[in-house]
Structure 1
Amino acid sequence: MSADAQLLALSGGIGGAKLALGLDRVLPAGRLTVLANTGDDFVHLGLHVSPDIDTLLYTLAGLDDPVRGWGRKDETWTFMAALKALGGEDWFLLGDGDLATHVERSRLLAAGETLSAVTERLRSRLGIGSAVLPMSDDPVRTRVKTKSEGWLDFQPYFVGRRCEPEVEALAFDGAEDARLAPGVAAALDDPALAAIIICPSNPYLSIDPILAVPGMRASLENRRVPVLAVSPIIAGQAVKGPTAKMMRELGLEPSAATVARHYEGLVDILVVDEADEGLAVPAGMRAVAAPTWMRTLEDRTRLARRVLEALGWQAGAAS
């Protein structure tokens, strides 16, 4: 890769943010752009909440809660206690510090700013060196068709119902009419773009909404740079979240092999855990085994270096 090479990473929330942090730490400043899923966004208590964007912002800024995996560390919950006492909706937790993010985002959006502009403002205020972009400034909303309750919006399914209803189908409302955020289109067209990385996020809930925005899937299908994905499935199990459960309910075997087939035609390199070493992948795809379980910052930077090495960028050149 050239000295000014740029990398674009597609990410959902917790799992993707871990690798994004590793990449942010090992790459020179200003070389990484993280494209966030906004299919999880919703309006709650009159506020625009962007869970995956916020997880990325808090993680890259070192403000994330290492125990919960979401929200801010050292959070307080005075607002939620007061809201509950008033009989308000308390199924979706908003910590006091986290609430400030949603209030400020909602204020700026109401004043006419785009989600891209608001995200950039927050990124800058939090001192994050890597760029963070929403996939679109237009609303795209993930919906889940359940066997027992019909169609549910994503957050009521994911948080409110704790992913308990059996899933029959997924839809991304608004995707057909959405446009890639201007920064995303610019990143894809940047002559310095050297590779695209799909972080170990849920392929169906976090990455597919991004690919559903017109132009994104085509960019990967007609790629001029290598595309690498990291499997979120290790030895048939998801590290975190409902990925494995959902795959079974959709009639899919929870395995790195299924992830490989899902990304067939889009990905040149699939990084799998060492537990899945020797995995057979579709023609045109190469599998690389590495320790992908990221418990510590060292794990995250080590995986980031292995990803860069798989792309032909020696880790030492990125430090």
Structure 2
Amino acid sequence: MSGRVVVLTGGVGGAKLVLGLCNLVAESDVTVIVNTGDDFTHLGLAVSPDIDTLLYTLSGKANTHQGWGRADEGWRFMEALSSLGGEHWFRLGDGDLALHVLRTQRLGRGEPLSTIITDFASAWGIGAIILPMTDQRVATRIDTDAGLLDFQDYFVRRRCEPAVRAIRFDGAPVASAAPGVVDAIMNNGCRAILIAPSNPYLSIDPILAVPQIRAALAAARAPVIAVSPIVGGNAVKGPTAKIMRELGLDIGPTAIVHHYEGVIDGLLVDERDMPVRLDIPSACADTLMTNLDDRICVARAALDLADALR
């Protein structure tokens, strides 16, 4: 079955699903709506970690071993910075700097992030449409036992160690969806809307916090399918399970269904977490995406579930 597919995603984990999808259907039929709650200014540069992960992944430039950044990266800039006593807790590679410098320059001229990212994707031959969730500033902030922390302070500098009490998305209630986002979700030719197995609390919730996006998902004709980020009762990578424990939630598919209540129509569950009785339609697959074939299989399983619900 042909038709456009929309994916809501964060960075590394979601990029794996998007890559699998782009190897399963025509890349030009894929629209990716990316979290920008992680975006911040570092050393005077505008950094968009999740967007850049998608750009590197879909252009074949990603460091697949490390899981983030560019392949064959150099670190002379960071070495020089450190020697001068500069902040080096957030690492910017020599090649990685190109995106940040150009983005900062163009944002300073008043250009919207969505236009800049479209140009970057085109320059690298990416056929999928990559859209930031908004062109406006939204900042994920974490209320922890160490105080209220900016996202990158919590995630990178402190390595997710503080206990999470609550999460908020400053600017989201008054932010507008970026151009093309609502149209992609509401498109009558849309086959499926997928929510990637990114961290629901840190990567997907910022997107859902933009009122136009949440409303569009509620009104969408295409089935909305989430891929569970839980594998065998735990998270593959990152603090998803840790956050769930700290928020008093059970770590499993049922909690994911409840979290996305009113948004999703179905859930793709990892086979290690089945059987489980859920309140919505579900299917199971091996969602541990260790190679390209795995990523294609997960994308296919998510689309099959969506097709069954159409």
User: 5 Å matches for 1:112-191?
Assistant: 112-147=110-145, 149-191=146-188
Structure 2 residue matching 1:194: 3-state secondary structure:
strand
User: What letter corresponds to residue 159 of structure 2 in structure 1?
Assistant: R
Instruction: Report the counterpart of residue 250 of structure 1 in structure 2.
Output: 247
Instruction: Report the counterpart of residue 193 of structure 2 in structure 1.
Output: 196
1:302 aligns with 2:286: no
Structure 2 residue matching 1:195: 3-state secondary structure:
strand
The answer to whether the Cα contact below 8 Å between 1:272 and 1:287 also exists between their aligned partners in 2 is yes
The answer to whether the Cα contact below 8 Å between 1:168 and 1:249 also exists between their aligned partners in 2 is yes
How far 1:189 moved relative to its partner?
A: 3.1
How far 1:132 moved relative to its partner?
A: 0.4
RMSD: 1.1
Give, in whole Å, the separation in 1 of the partners of 2:41 and 2:300: 37
Structure 1 residue matching 2:192: 3-state secondary structure:
strand
The answer to whether the Cα contact below 8 Å between 2:191 and 2:307 also exists between their aligned partners in 1 is no
Match of 2:285 among 281, 290, 307: 290
Give, in whole Å, the separation in 2 of the partners of 1:40 and 1:183: 21
The answer to whether the Cα contact below 8 Å between 1:234 and 1:256 also exists between their aligned partners in 2 is no
User: 5 Å matches for 1:87-98?
Assistant: 87-98=85-96
Identity %: 55
User: 5 Å matches for 1:195-214?
Assistant: 195-214=192-211
Structure 2 residue matching 1:215: 3-state secondary structure:
helix
User: 5 Å matches for 1:11-160?
Assistant: 11-147=9-145, 149-160=146-157
Instruction: Report the counterpart of residue 226 of structure 1 in structure 2.
Output: 223
User: What letter corresponds to residue 138 of structure 1 in structure 2?
Assistant: Q
How far 1:150 moved relative to its partner?
A: 1.0
User: What is the CA deviation profile of residues 205-238 of structure 1, one whole-angstrom value per residue up to 9, with x for unaligned ones?
Assistant: 0111000001111222233211100000112110
Structure 2 residue matching 1:311: 3-state secondary structure:
helix
How far 1:302 moved relative to its partner?
A: 1.4
Give, in whole Å, the separation in 2 of the partners of 1:306 and 1:175: 32
Structure 2 stretches lacking a partner, 5+ long: none
Structure 1 residue matching 2:283: 3-state secondary structure:
strand
Give, in whole Å, the separation in 2 of the partners of 1:28 and 1:15: 21
How far 1:200 moved relative to its partner?
A: 0.4
The answer to whether the Cα contact below 8 Å between 1:279 and 1:287 also exists between their aligned partners in 2 is no
Structure 1 residue matching 2:32: 3-state secondary structure:
strand
Structure 1 residue matching 2:126: 3-state secondary structure:
coil
Structure 2 residue matching 1:182: 3-state secondary structure:
coil
Structure 1 stretches lacking a partner, 5+ long: 314-319
TM-score (norm 1): 0.94
Structure 2 residue matching 1:229: 3-state secondary structure:
strand
User: What is the CA deviation profile of residues 147-184 of structure 1, one whole-angstrom value per residue up to 9, with x for unaligned ones?
Assistant: 1x210000011000000011100000000110000110
The answer to whether the Cα contact below 8 Å between 1:261 and 1:281 also exists between their aligned partners in 2 is no
How far 1:35 moved relative to its partner?
A: 0.3
User: What letter corresponds to residue 298 of structure 2 in structure 1?
Assistant: L
Give, in whole Å, the separation in 1 of the partners of 2:114 and 2:204: 18
Give, in whole Å, the separation in 2 of the partners of 1:312 and 1:287: 12
User: What is the CA deviation profile of residues 113-146 of structure 1, one whole-angstrom value per residue up to 9, with x for unaligned ones?
Assistant: 1000000011011111111000000000000001
Which deviates more from structure 2 when the two are superposed, residues 21-30 or residues 237-246?
Answer: 21-30
Structure 2 residue matching 1:97: 3-state secondary structure:
coil
How far 1:19 moved relative to its partner?
A: 0.1
User: What letter corresponds to residue 211 of structure 1 in structure 2?
Assistant: L
The answer to whether the Cα contact below 8 Å between 1:143 and 1:154 also exists between their aligned partners in 2 is yes
Structure 2 residue matching 1:208: 3-state secondary structure:
helix
How far 1:190 moved relative to its partner?
A: 2.2
User: What is the CA deviation profile of residues 20-79 of structure 1, one whole-angstrom value per residue up to 9, with x for unaligned ones?
Assistant: 000011111310000000000000000000000001110111111111101001111000
Structure 1 residue matching 2:130: 3-state secondary structure:
strand
1:311 aligns with 2:309: no
Instruction: Report the counterpart of residue 317 of structure 1 in structure 2.
Output: none
The answer to whether the Cα contact below 8 Å between 2:160 and 2:239 also exists between their aligned partners in 1 is yes
Structure 2 residue matching 1:8: 3-state secondary structure:
strand
TM-score (norm 2): 0.97
User: What letter corresponds to residue 251 of structure 2 in structure 1?
Assistant: P
User: What letter corresponds to residue 303 of structure 1 in structure 2?
Assistant: V
The answer to whether the Cα contact below 8 Å between 1:248 and 1:254 also exists between their aligned partners in 2 is yes
